[in-house]
Structure 1
Amino acid sequence: YEAWTLWDKLTDYLHHLAAPLFCYVLGGFATLTLLTKNAFLEEMHKQYVLTARAKGLSEKTVLFKHVLKNSLIPLVTGFPIAFLAMFFTGSLLLEQIFTLDGLGLLSYQAVIQRDYPIVLGTLFIFSLMALIGQLLTDLSYVLIDPRISFDESQG
């Protein structure tokens, strides 16, 4: 392994990263699909959808211009929390399956061995990631719904 070039090491690393990454993406896709389906079904029963159809708008226009736009708000609200929960609970399982050393296994072993500095460190990292995810969620509201503004002038 020491005789390998940087490119060989990088391709080997990415090759061994593909299966765990696929499992994470698959789990995240299932969560995203469930959240999207529930948001769409909730929006489809609202009055503005019936009004848009009564105006003679095509089903494609109703779905993509009205329903999708309004269903993104609950989706953006719920996805970061669901993704972080899935990521942290699934990481321990995937690290065991693929024999990886990661934060899930590290935090689990630290709790079992009562290694409090490691427990607090991993808890800090997980909390910081959740805080950053929530901040990005709040900032993305402005992009999705232009009625939402963080200006102080609207008191």
Structure 2
Amino acid sequence: MIENAVKQSDVIIIATPPTAILEIIEKMGDVSGKVIIDATNSIGKNPEPYQTVYHVLSDKTDAEIVKCFNTTGFENMLNPIYNGEAIDMFMAGESEEAKAIALQLSTDAGFGSCIDFGKSDKVELLEKFALSWINLAIMQGHGRNLAFKVVRR
């Protein structure tokens, strides 16, 4: 089932527990030239011996990979508008092609922008940023209707 879906897709979004990634890669089959958006967060458990799913995908596939859609909760994915203003999404990775697609998908989904955190060395930082949202929304009890917006002067 997974391999068939991958064959029919140009873009694949992975949002699973990090420890499942090696099994998922086997089931996907050939992903050469496809864009994979890593929306996972390695919080608590890493896909050993790697730090993140992004790094597993980079090592084990020939896909164009970007980390994106991992920094907020499902409520903000459903509705990224707060008081008439669109919140921001964030991404990181090496592939400019994958980043362009993540930008397009995030703005199509209603996010105000998709801010580029940088290359693959910023993927772990982006996961820590996701943990910041989790900390505020869940652990600190501020609620899940909370989001990030970069403002400039």
Give the alignment's TM-score, normalised by structure 2.
0.23
Q: Looking at secondary structure, tell me which structure has more strand per residue.
A: 2
Task: Give the greater-gyration-radius structure (CA).
Answer: 1
TM-score after normalising by structure 1:
0.23
Structure having the higher helix fraction is: 1
